Chain A
């Protein structure tokens, strides 16, 4: 399930005083089965880039190929629909998209749109609601009666229940408390490990990028400026500083220790990783 960009450009408000190029000649590939991070400053074109992946926005020039489906300027609605069925998208504040009378029906909305039978849709909905720890007693409640955190879980279940081949997460944890944040991210990671789908994560939280993603693509002013292995890019202090990106805590810690003469082997992905590397270093210097 690869996504391939070929000379893709997107203009907004073409032929008006507001005209502005949001994507500039993007050439890149998202390989199947990897967890990608997409980082860059606000307005760098990340959101535009992901919206071209399922035909919400069509490229003004060039093509986007999603799992063999060509998306160009003049593609038919039917083809776009096919692309949408392959790509699941969790937007910022997904709870704003809830509308049905009950939680269960809302989660079934996506699978039903894909042409699944009611029975299958119900089963999928129940499965994913359970996976997200939404209690069974809530299934017949109105989604608007739930708390903010639960609403978000229901909305996320609504997208996972479509069982997309590619899952795109646009700041899925914005506005969540730290505990829910960790839970939600871990959950996406578990789904990723279990199903082997491609995941693309947009976030400003570099700690999450380091912990979960295999590769990152960095955007600035509508262009893709760097792509590669996550730990390598995030450890490049000069680069990160140049583009005003925050270096993850554990990497900064490793770099500071290095200055003090403590050389850890490898780059840790999170705190637990760091502790282990540190223990190894201690033992080898005992």
Chain B
């Protein structure tokens, strides 16, 4: 299960989406988050889905692969859907179960909100799948540079982000290893009462924290040994370059946003 986790994972590739400037991708994702809220009926949502599907295709990834990786947030999605289904009122009553009613408005909002969430998660996942963590933090650092004038430690924040992103897969692998070692000792996570299952997590988390702290310390020492002292006077190995295709990508996205506004009711 853990190995199919896509959060924070990067798949190297050569597609047009991979080649876009990370800043363009970051801005696009932010814009897309706003654009998603323009849609307010099925035409808009249809267009959004179509858009996300084409970006996925352009990135050379299969939809199925993405969906498999999203399994972990399905609980969240179902929960959201059910909340809307039962709590949003309006329209005709579809089912009257006595103490609860399901009304058409609730069903429709539920579906729309769920689609919205799925699209948001897919588009952000697409960004992390096609952009290496280093590029991504470079982009954040560049985009947030103006904040430096009001003493925001932009470089340090970017560095912390890149380190955390970098270690997500490592920690995942580590967790998997520890789970294996403990379950080989007869620990059971899948069976028993809730309390038993929660207790079964202790043998996993303690070794995990131990190794995470140890790793953090070793890393800090390794960085200091190599003379790392933060932002001052630091140059970049990779220099980001904004190309025409990045501008075009943003224009396309803006046009798409305008189209959505146009079909809005």
Q: Are A97 and B181 in contact (CB under 8 A)?
A: yes
Q: Which residues of chain B have C-beta atoms less than 8 A from A54's C-beta?
A: 184
Is A268 in contact with chain B by the CB < 8 A criterion? no
Task: Choose the segment among B112-120, B156-164, B187-195 that binds chain A (4+ C-beta atoms closer than 8 Å).
Answer: B187-195
Q: Are B4 and A13 in contact (CB under 8 A)?
A: yes
Other-chain residue from A13, A17, A109 in contact with B185 (beta carbon distance below 8 A): A109
Task: Choose the segment among B72-80, B90-98, B205-213, B241-249 that binds chain A (4+ C-beta atoms closer than 8 Å).
Answer: B205-213
User: In the bound complex, how far is the Cα of B185 from the Cα of A78, in angstroms?
Assistant: 14
Task: Choose the segment among A33-41, A83-91, A126-134, A277-285 that binds chain B (4+ C-beta atoms closer than 8 Å).
Answer: A83-91
User: In the bound complex, how far is the Cα of B183 from the Cα of A148, in angstroms?
Assistant: 23
Q: Are A77 and B190 in contact (CB under 8 A)?
A: yes
Q: Which residues of chain A have C-beta atoms less than 8 A from B185's C-beta?
A: 97, 109-110, 113, 158-159, 162
Q: Which residues of chain B have C-beta atoms less than 8 A from A98's C-beta?
A: 207
Residue among A56, A99, A100, A158 with the highest chain B CB neighbour number at 10 A: A99
Residue among B3, B62, B186, B210 with the highest chain A CB neighbour number at 10 A: B186
Other-chain residue from A81, A99, A162 in contact with B207 (beta carbon distance below 8 A): A99
User: In the bound complex, how far is the Cα of B211 from the Cα of A99, in angstroms?
Assistant: 11
Is A96 in contact with chain B by the CB < 8 A criterion? yes
User: In the bound complex, how far is the Cα of B204 from the Cα of A98, in angstroms?
Assistant: 9
- Contact A51 to B207, CB < 8 A, known contacts A13-B3, A99-B202, A159-B185: no
* CB interface residues, B 165-209, toward A, < 8 Å: 177-178, 180-188, 190-191, 202-204, 206-207
A-side residues, CB < 8 A to B, are 12-13, 15-17, 51, 54, 56, 77-78, 81, 84-85, 87-89, 91, 94, 96-100, 109-110, 113-114, 144, 158-159, 162
B-side residues, CB < 8 A to A, are 3-4, 11, 61-62, 64-65, 68, 177-178, 180-188, 190-191, 202-204, 206-207, 210-211
